[in-house]
Structure formats: structure tokens, C-alpha cells
Amino acid sequence: MGPGNADVGTHVQQSELNPRARPRPKRGLLGRVVGWALRAVIAFVIVSVFMVVLYRFVPPPITLTMVGDALGGHGIDKSWRPLSKIDPNMARAAIAGEDSRFCLHNGFDLHAIETAYLRNASGGRIRGGSTISQQTAKNVFLIQGGGYARKALEAYFTVLIENIWGKRRIMEVYLNVAETGIGTYGVDAASRRYFGHDASHLTPDEAGRIAAVLPLPKKRAAIAPRGFTRRHGNTITRRVGVVRNDGLDRCLR
């Protein structure tokens, strides 16, 4: 065997002993797509968890719904108020009107979802089974409307805020970012708009009227409410005392 053959043999042996010396086979298109998708999912999880942790301590500066209002030519009227400085009647009214089991569930009220489904299937007034936790997740991190993809993301963020924020923070954020009128966000801005004072002192009637607006804030008014809005507000007002007396707001005390 000549010197040249010896060099070739040595090179082959080194390639066999050192896999790194071999050229890596190129991944196909499907492999690259899967890799990109996996990196995108990991990046989304990291960013979303970071945002949830951040908003545990910092008020969300703006939501996509607010952006939509601004682009639509409406002003944005909002003012952040800590839960400790919002009249307890307001949280009780929100629980009475939107989520009576708020302090009992882990973010999802299966009984309310089933009840809403049966009611809608029987031809009654269309209602959802979303909890305050789900609504908060949607309001802060997502857009209004949407299909199953948005619902899946809503569920994901609901799990995060339930475990990272806790009930008091969820209620605090909800009462500050929920739309309470065209271009109006949060109960403090609503109280100033409708009643001429801040949300530190709200009567059960005032809190009930604001809570009655929450499901359809662009179509309902807390000033001189009529029809269903008036009846619904009166019902919520009566339930405020029940929420207090039955301890349905105990996770906020």
C-alpha cells in the first residue's frame, strides 16, 4: 500500500471514529417546519408567562380592545384604582351579575357552562358561561370575538392567571380593564362618567347599574337604564347583599 492509500485509510478511520467529522444530512422541509413551530411555541410560552408575571405587579397599560377603540376614533377614558380603594359593593355586584361562584372555582365554572348551553339550546336568551377569570384573560391578553383558537388561548391564560395572580388580583384587574361604555374602561372611569364621583364609594344601586352594563357595554347605558338593562341592574342590586351575607366574596376579603 502506497503513502497515498495510507492517508485515505487514516482519513476513513478518523471519520468512523469521529462522527462530528461527517457532514450532517440536511433536514427536509417538514423537519424544518416542525423545528420552527416548536421554537415558536417555546417563545410564546416564555413571553406569555413573563407578561402574566409582570402584570401580577404592574397594571396592564393598554389592551387590544382599547387599541380598537382608539383606531375607531373613540377616546380611551380609564383610570387605575387598587381593589382596596374600590367600594366592595362593586366586586359584589360583579360576582352577582357575572360569576356567582368566582371564589369557588379554579377559573372555569362547568356548571355555568352546562346551564348556558342548555338555555341556549332551548331557545332562551343567548348567554355564555365565561367566568370573571376567563373574561379577564380575554380582556387583557386577547381580542374580543374569535373562534376556537381564541377560546383555547383564553383557557391557557385563565390557567396562568389563576395560578400566578390569585383571586384578588384577577378581580382587581377585571374591574380596571373591563369595558364599561364606549371608550370607557374600568369601574372608576364608569363611576365618574355616570355618577360624577370615583369608585371609592358606590351604593349597591350604582354598582348594580355598572355591572348590568358589563355584558354589552357598547349597547347599554348606566344612566337612566331601560328595559332589560334596568331590570337586570335591579336584580344585581338585590343580590349584592346576598353575596355579602353568604360570603360569596370571601376570597376578596
pLDDT tens digit sequence for 177-197: 999 999 999 999 999 999 999
Query: What fold is seen in the domain 31-57+80-252?
Result: Penicillin binding protein transpeptidase fold (1.10.3810)
Average pLDDT for 18-35: 73
For the chain, the domains span: 31-57+80-252
22 has a pLDDT exceeding 70: no
110 has a pLDDT exceeding 90: no
- Place 133 in a pLDDT band, splitting at 50, 70 and 90: very high
The residue whose grid cell reads 374569535 is 146
17 has a pLDDT exceeding 60: no
131 has a pLDDT exceeding 90: yes
Which DSSP category does 185 fall into?
Answer: E
Do residues 175 and 214 touch, judged by C-beta distance below 8 A?
no
> What average pLDDT is seen over the chain?
88
Which DSSP category does 56 fall into?
Answer: T
- Place 218 in a pLDDT band, splitting at 50, 70 and 90: confident
Residue 57's Cβ-side half-sphere holds a number of Cα atoms within 13 Å equal to: 3
pTM reported for the whole predicted model: 0.85
Interatomic CA distance for residues 186 and 199, integer angstroms: 10
Q: Of 202, 172, 199, nearest to 82 (Cα)?
A: 172
| Selected residue with higher pLDDT from 223 and 44 | 44
- 51-54 own/partner pairs: CB under 8 Å, 24+ apart: 51/141, 52/157, 52/160, 52/161, 52/164, 52/165, 53/164
Residues 74-102 as b or e (16 or more Cβ within 10 Å = b):
eeebbebbebeebbbbbbbbbbbbbbbeb
Helix axes 227-245, 88-98, angle to 10 degrees: 110
Cα 153 to the center of its chain, rounded Å:
9
Average pLDDT for 70-82: 92
Q: Per the structure block, which three cell numbers stand in for 41? A: 411555541
Interatomic CA distance for residues 111 and 176, integer angstroms: 27
Interatomic CA distance for residues 222 and 60, integer angstroms: 25
The proportion of the chain whose per-residue pLDDT surpasses 90, expressed as a percent, equals 69
CA end-to-end distance (rounded Å), the chain: 90
Interatomic CA distance for residues 133 and 154, integer angstroms: 10
Which DSSP category does 200 fall into?
Answer: T
pLDDT score recorded for residue 84 = 97
Average pLDDT for 110-121: 72
